A and B are shown apart, each in its own frame.
Chain A
Amino acid sequence: DGGITQSPKYLFRKEGQNVTLSCEQNLNHDAMYWYRQDPGQGLRLIYYSQIVNDFQKGDIAEGYSVSREKKESFPLTVTSAQKNPTAFYLCASSSKLGTEAFFGQGTRLTVV
């Protein structure tokens, strides 16, 4: 089935460690996005990619990094520089930038 797969569903990290969240899509979409969700707040954009080998910072990119080496994959690394990384992370894709987005199931990251 076509869709977006995020893994893992739950992730625990010790303070000071980097961690990478996976996002894969088989929808042949050019654009991919990473969002962060915190209780009581709307989703906030971390990074987005319009096309392979290109990505841009969103509203809250500090402490995060991404890569887009393949069309299907857009991994997000939460670095030790992110001060408050505990959150729910959602990946999305769309056929082109700005068109209707399809979302993954999310990864819940907890820093212990």
Chain B
Amino acid sequence: KNEVEQSPQNLTAQEGEFITINCSYSVGISALHWLQQHPGGGIVSLFMLSSGKKKHGRLIATINIQEKHSSLHITASHPRDSAVYICAATSGTYKYIFGTGTRLKVLA
């Protein structure tokens, strides 16, 4: 069992839909990261959070420390949101522990 688990693995949505991607972790963490990987392969950091909720544009990330669970929400989804979304945990050391990613496709 991976220390960081994501669901679903694949997700197809229609433009405008509200999307939720889930992440559960089994390790103690200092921060939880949400990353976006576009088809070309480069990775962009979306959020780093250790408690509560963060919002950036149409993206919202939440974390529940007691339940060891985080969610990434996309409101009013758009085809340009199509990417792989990766959850990763850091535990105060050098190391990121990555989930396997959620491949999102938003159809026009």
Contacts and interface: CB of A to CB of B under 8 A. Distances in A.
A90 B94 contact: no
B48 A100 contact: yes
A103 B42 contact: yes
Contacts of A42: 2, 4, 86, 88, 97-101
A97 B30 CA distance: 13
A105 B40 contact: yes
B52 interface: no
Given A100-B45, A106-B42, A45 B101 contact: no
A48 B101 CA distance: 22
Interface in B45-93: 45, 48, 86, 88, 90, 92-93
Contacts of A90: 41, 43
Interface residues of B, number: 26
Interface residues of A, number: 23
Contacts of B30: 98
Given A40-B100, A42-B101, A108 B41 contact: yes
Contacts of B99: 42
B27 interface: no
Interface in A66-92: 88, 90, 92
A77 B94 CA distance: 21
B94 A31 contact: yes
A101 B4 contact: no
Given A42-B4, A101-B45, A103-B42, A48 B94 contact: yes
Contact of A88 (B4, B41, B48, B90): B41
A50 interface: yes
Contacts of B93: 97-98
A40 B86 CA distance: 12
Contacts of B41: 88, 90, 105-106, 108
B33 A50 contact: no
A98 B98 contact: no
Interface of B: 2, 4, 30-31, 33, 35, 40-45, 48, 86, 88, 90, 92-101
